[in-house]
Amino acid sequence: MDDFRTPGDLFKSPEEFSKQAKENFRKFTTIVPVIIAGLVIIGGALTSFYSVGPDEIGVVRRFGKYVRSTNPGLHFKIPFIEVYNNVKVTYVYKDEFGFRTEQPGVVSRYSKRNYFDESIMLTGDLNVLEVEWIVQFKVKDPVKLLFNVRNSRNTIRNISEAVMRQVVGDHTVNEVLTTRRVEINQEVQDKLQEIMDLYDSGVQIVTVKLQDVNPPDAVKPSFNEVNAAKQEKEKAINQAWEAYNKVVPRAKGEAEKTIREAEGYALNRVNRAKGDAAKFIATYDAYKNAKEVTRKRLYLETMNEIIPYAGKKYIIDDQQKGILPLLNITKEGGAQ
């Protein structure tokens, strides 16, 4: 049979084997460049286009050097030469200090770890507080963010912690706990933004807010006792001021009223005296010029003032000789 082979036919001579190997290698070296070229073309086609999200800005680099920024949409770049980074410019990032949120929601779940290395701080009156706060920021210049600051997230965290320690160290424990929390938030935000602008980082600080400020657990009982004593002191002072404000203004008002009444009485007496003196002088001048007329006028004016206070009045004939007829006068002044 033609296809029958003996065991010796399965083995080739060294010359034939070498010739076969050279032929196979030649074919392989001919196909490999074609395969590589095909892969390069396919890879270039796949990497020539990139997409920028609606809340992002694309930053394109050529051999590591910035060449352009692109807006949201589909864009072309030179494959294998240009690379890009998409940076979110509307998203508000948040960093937490002194605590960590494991699961946000209506009822958030927080990490049970303590972060005393970043939350324990010394106040200006040498008290120790555990301060928890958040920093929110967004990117206003993605080019500056990528090229001017290395590891921007860690940089923001380190600067935020340093600024918060400085501001807390400039205030008393009561100011940090209660009275000046809003001012401290604004002061930290302003200083943090100033430093980020000095670094030309391209970052905008949106807000800084103290979340929870408490004394460490080891000193809480003593701290509460001190606060209770201060509150009692403030209460006593306020009660004293309340009593003072009730009594003293009333006394001042009564004294002022008495003074004003005395002044009014004195002014009235003086004016009446001046009026009476002026009236007497005017009457005297009139009397000198017309004695009879003035005398009669004075008589009539005097009677006009006296008669209203005289009560009942009886007019008797000046020719009457006896008084018996007067006995018949009734209470109404008429005869019975």
269 vs 93: CA distance, rounded Å: 82
DSSP-based three-state secondary structure for 336: coil
Helix (H, G, I), strand (E, B) or coil at 56: strand
Q: Is residue 48 a contact partner of residue 84, using CB atoms and an 8 Å limit?
A: no
Closest CA to 128 of 217, 208, 226: 217
Where do the structural domains in the chain lie, given as residue ranges?
A: 26-86, 93-215, 219-336
Please report the pLDDT score of residue 306 as a whole number. Answer: 80
pLDDT tens per residue, the chain (336 residues)? 444 444 444 445 666 667 676 666 666 667 767 667 666 666 655 667 888 989 999 999 998 899 999 999 988 888 878 888 999 999 999 999 999 998 887 788 888 888 889 999 999 988 889 999 999 999 999 999 999 988 889 999 999 999 999 999 999 988 998 889 999 999 999 999 999 999 999 999 999 999 989 888 877 787 778 778 888 898 999 999 988 888 888 888 889 999 999 999 999 999 989 888 888 888 878 777 888 888 888 888 888 888 777 776 666 667 766 655 555 555 554 444
Phi and psi for 72 in degrees, rounded to 5? -55, 140
- Per the listing, tokens 């807390």 go with 168
Considering only CA atoms, which of 97, 109, 108, 100 is closest in space to residue 213? Answer: 97
Give the length of the chain. 336
Instruction: For the chain, report the end-to-end CA distance as a whole number of angstroms.
Output: 191
Q: Give the span between the Cα atoms of 234 and 186, in whole angstroms.
A: 28
Q: What kind of architecture, by CATH, is found in domain 93-215? A: 2-Layer Sandwich (3.30)
Q: Residue 109: phi, psi to the nearest 5?
A: -110, 130
Residue 151's contacts (CB-CB under 8 Å, 6 or more residues apart) are none
HSE value, Cβ hemisphere, 13 Å, CA-based, for 312: 7
**CB-CB neighbours of 185 under 10 Å:** 17
SS3 135: strand
Among candidates 91, 84, 90, which has minimal Cα distance to 70? 84
Q: Is 140 left (phi over 0), alpha (psi -120 to 50) or beta?
A: alpha
Residues 193, 156: Cα–Cα separation, whole Å = 10
